[in-house]
A = this chain, B = another copy of it.
Amino acid sequence: MKTSNLNFEAKQYTSKDFDANLPRVILPAMPDTPGEPVAEPTLEEQIAAYQREFQDLDPQVEQIVSALGRLNRRMNVAYGRQTAEIGISNAEWEVLKALVLSGPPYRLGPGDIAKRLGLTPAAMTHRIDRMVQEGLVTRDRDETNRVRVIVELTDEGREKWLEAMRLASVFEEDLLQDLTPAERGILGEVLTRLLRRVEDAQPDADGRLTDLD
């Protein structure tokens, strides 16, 4: 078993993501020495606690959902660390990904990018500002339709994306290292099926988060 570079770290202060996870637990009925540091709960402890507090919970469903959430969180932390290594932010990496995936000539409007990233156009304006400054992309008016603005990937931007992909590949392979090829196939298929259901349930359309605080 390859023990390699799973470069995680729970990394305090990650936020930036909502997940169905975390907290801790108190198994039988006794908290750790009252007033003490209070440790991180394992997945099992977490599920046990949920069951105790909420009878109707299906432990199997909870296991899947919680593992998904916690896993995603750790992965995002790892990606964040990697992008930091090559001198870009996670936010910038997202934009680069969108542009590369759009295919040649690697151009998109700010609004399009915003849609793909789930941000407001306003946020894109500022984000693009920074990226232009850093030489990752260029921003020009579309002369055939001056309403539009075109954001285009620069060579430097593409290079950064490549570096990030290389790091990500290594990381992802490490992550899946102890799954057999058969298990990988099943996992991919099942996840894809879940995803299809969700994405079909709502083609995409619009809708905001309505995060009324």
The contact string, 1 if C-beta is below 8 Å from chain B, for chain A 61-77, is: 11111011111111111
Q: A89-B212, A184-B61 are in contact. Are A101 and B25 (CB under 8 A)?
A: yes
What's the least CB distance linking A9 to chain B, in Å? 4
A204: B residues at CB distance < 8 A: 9-10, 40
What's the least CB distance linking A147 to chain B, in Å? 10
By beta carbon, the residue of chain B nearest A145 is: B35
A50: B residues at CB distance < 8 A: 101, 165
Assembly CA distance A145 to B175 (angstroms): 43
Assembly CA distance A173 to B144 (angstroms): 50
Assembly CA distance A56 to B163 (angstroms): 12
A97: B residues at CB distance < 8 A: 20, 22-23
By beta carbon, the residue of chain B nearest A106 is: B53
A1-50 contacts to B, CB under 8 A, are 6-20, 22-26, 31, 35, 37-38, 40-41, 43, 46, 49-50
Q: Are A212 and B63 in contact (CB under 8 A)?
A: no
Q: Are A67 and B192 in contact (CB under 8 A)?
A: yes
Q: A116-B22, A201-B6, A207-B12 are in contact. Are A72 and B69 (CB under 8 A)?
A: yes
Assembly CA distance A173 to B43 (angstroms): 19
Q: Are A198 and B6 in contact (CB under 8 A)?
A: yes
Assembly CA distance A123 to B76 (angstroms): 20
